């Protein structure tokens, strides 16, 4: 009984302090969700964030990162962990200068135990499914840090973010009666496009930092033939379409709390796109980010207007013009 208490207490720390430390904005979004959605969504996020941290630990040789990702992938899928898996996680944790990411990697064994303890078998299956896609994308990060073609970029954005839109949609339809006014198939399509758009915004925002780190997600073929300005514009337009899909998705959601959690990234994304368009090729020299004060104003406006569909549409339109 005492051991069970400690495990439950530690899991409570994962869904609370650890999650908040690695992503304050996502932590707030999860707190808005109905109780039955919080654990599968929070756990999937923590596992995905851990894989990203391992893939990005460039102080460790690429081959060793691939090996550790493979070990973690097998553990997530429910296979017996390799001997020394926990020691490997601890070795990666020691390389983290960010204390929150170090704590997350140290807690990976507990995350895996939490996954096994989820009461809904389909939730477990969906988490394993989305992590399989994400980890395929993380392997690409390590193996092929420079993408060559538009097709490679489209596939990458699906693997690391578009599939998350699918995961979110399936979990919501399973746990929430009358989740949306659109059928599940249509919401899945919009969710994939929305996730890919959000990832494209991250890629555009981080273009300079990635370039300095020897990575490039913008297609090398296009950069060579079209130049930076035209490539940025092309993928900016694709990201904008993704945010339109996100707004359409959000407005179809019935429950106000879930609608708020779903709409907020799209509205912030639309505002980020305005800043990216203004920055142009300067994104290769500086990072663009919506100020926290503005994010708070967006959130307060949505709450004050009961997350109405008209408010979502107005905010997204005014901030993308």
Higher pLDDT, 125 or 212: 125
Report the pLDDT value the prediction gives residue 137, as an integer from 0 to 100: 95
The predicted model gives 190-216 an average pLDDT of: 95
Q: Give 287-314 pLDDT, tens digit per residue.
A: 899 998 999 999 999 999 999 999 999 9
Here the tokens at position 268 are 């912030």
Give yes or no: residues 150 and 266 share one domain: yes
Give residues with Cβ within 8 angstroms of 95, minimum separation 6. Answer: 57, 59, 60
Q: Is residue 124 part of a domain?
A: no
Give yes or no: residues 98 and 167 share one domain: no
Q: Is residue 168 part of a domain?
A: yes
Give residues with Cβ within 8 angstroms of 142, minimum separation 6. Answer: 55, 62, 65, 66, 69
Give yes or no: residues 112 and 226 share one domain: no
Report the pLDDT value the prediction gives residue 318, as an integer from 0 to 100: 61
CA distance 8 to 13: 9
Residue 210, domain CATH: 1.10.600.10
CA distance 237 to 197: 9
- Residue ranges making up the domain that contains 318: 144-321
Give yes or no: residues 80 and 186 share one domain: no
**Phi, psi for residue 253 in degrees, rounded to 5:** -80, 135
Q: Is residue 79 part of a domain?
A: yes
DSSP 3-state of 270: helix
Q: Is residue 126 part of a domain?
A: no
Report the pLDDT value the prediction gives residue 91, as an integer from 0 to 100: 84
Q: Is residue 137 part of a domain?
A: no
Give yes or no: residues 31 and 164 share one domain: no
Q: Is residue 138 part of a domain?
A: no
CA distance 43 to 4: 19
Distance set, CA 320 to CA 40, 168, 269 (Å): 32, 25, 9
Q: Give 220-232 pLDDT, tens digit per residue.
A: 999 999 999 999 9
Q: Give 232-261 pLDDT, tens digit per residue.
A: 999 999 999 999 999 999 999 999 999 999
Give yes or no: residues 109 and 209 share one domain: no
Residue 142 has pLDDT above 60, yes or no: yes
**Confidence band, pLDDT 50/70/90 cuts, at residue 8:** low
Report the pLDDT value the prediction gives residue 267, as an integer from 0 to 100: 96
Residue 4 has pLDDT above 60, yes or no: no
**Confidence band, pLDDT 50/70/90 cuts, at residue 3:** very low
Burial class (CB in 10 A: 0-12, 13-18, 19+), 189: middle
Higher pLDDT, 184 or 62: 184
Give yes or no: residues 207 and 298 share one domain: yes
The predicted model gives 257-267 an average pLDDT of: 95
Q: Is residue 49 part of a domain?
A: yes
**Confidence band, pLDDT 50/70/90 cuts, at residue 81:** low
Report the pLDDT value the prediction gives residue 32, as an integer from 0 to 100: 85
**Confidence band, pLDDT 50/70/90 cuts, at residue 320:** low
Residue 14 has pLDDT above 50, yes or no: yes
Give yes or no: residues 249 and 106 share one domain: no
Of these ranges, 49-53, 144-148, 180-184, the one predicted with the greatest mean pLDDT is 180-184
Here the tokens at position 9 are 């207490």
Give yes or no: residues 164 and 253 share one domain: yes
Q: Is residue 100 part of a domain?
A: yes
Report the pLDDT value the prediction gives residue 175, as an integer from 0 to 100: 96
Report the pLDDT value the prediction gives residue 1, as an integer from 0 to 100: 44
Percent residues over pLDDT 70 in the chain: 94
Give yes or no: residues 76 and 213 share one domain: no
Contact 67, 139 (CB under 8 A): no
Higher pLDDT, 21 or 3: 21
Number of domains in the chain: 2
Give yes or no: residues 108 and 156 share one domain: no
Residue 5 has pLDDT above 80, yes or no: no
Of these ranges, 72-76, 80-84, 234-238, the one predicted with the greatest mean pLDDT is 234-238
**Confidence band, pLDDT 50/70/90 cuts, at residue 319:** low
Give yes or no: residues 77 and 225 share one domain: no
């Amino acid at each position: 009984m005492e051991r069970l208490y400690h495990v439950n207490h530690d899991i409570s720390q994962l869904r609370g302090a650890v999650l908040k430390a690695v992503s304050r904005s996502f932590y707030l979004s999860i707190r808005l969700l109905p109780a039955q959605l919080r654990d599968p969504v929070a756990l999937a996020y923590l596992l995905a964030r851990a894989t990203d941290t391992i893939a990005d630990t460039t102080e460790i040789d690429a081959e060793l990162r691939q090996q550790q990702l493979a070990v973690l992938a097998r553990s997530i899928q429910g296979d017996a962990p390799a001997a020394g898996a926990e020691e490997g996680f601890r070795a990666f944790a020691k390389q983290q200068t960010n204390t929150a990411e170090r704590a997350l990697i140290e807690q990976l064994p507990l995350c895996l135990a939490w996954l096994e303890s989820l009461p809904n078998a389909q939730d477990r299956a969906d988490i394993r499914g989305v992590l399989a896609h994400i980890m395929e994308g993380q392997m690409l990060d390590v193996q092929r840090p420079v993408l060559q073609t538009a097709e490679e970029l489209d596939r990458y954005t699906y693997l690391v973010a578009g599939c998350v839109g699918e995961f979110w949609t399936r979990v919501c339809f399973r746990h929430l009666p009358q989740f949306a006014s659109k059928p599940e198939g249509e919401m899945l399509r919009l969710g994939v496009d929305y996730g890919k758009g959000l990832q494209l915004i991250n890629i555009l925002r981080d273009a300079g930092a990635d370039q300095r780190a020897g990575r490039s997600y913008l297609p090398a073929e296009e950069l060579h033939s079209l130049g930076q300005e035209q490539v940025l514009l092309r993928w900016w337009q694709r990201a904008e379409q993704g945010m339109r899909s996100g707004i359409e998705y959000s407005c179809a959601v019935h429950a106000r709390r879930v609608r708020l959690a779903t709409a907020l990234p799209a509205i912030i994304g639309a505002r980020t796109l305005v800043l990216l368009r203004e920055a142009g090729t300067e994104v290769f020299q500086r990072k663009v980010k919506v100020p926290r004060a503005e994010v708070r104003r967006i959130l307060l406006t949505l709450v004050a207007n009961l997350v109405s569909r008209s408010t979502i549409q107005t905010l997204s339109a005014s901030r993308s013009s």
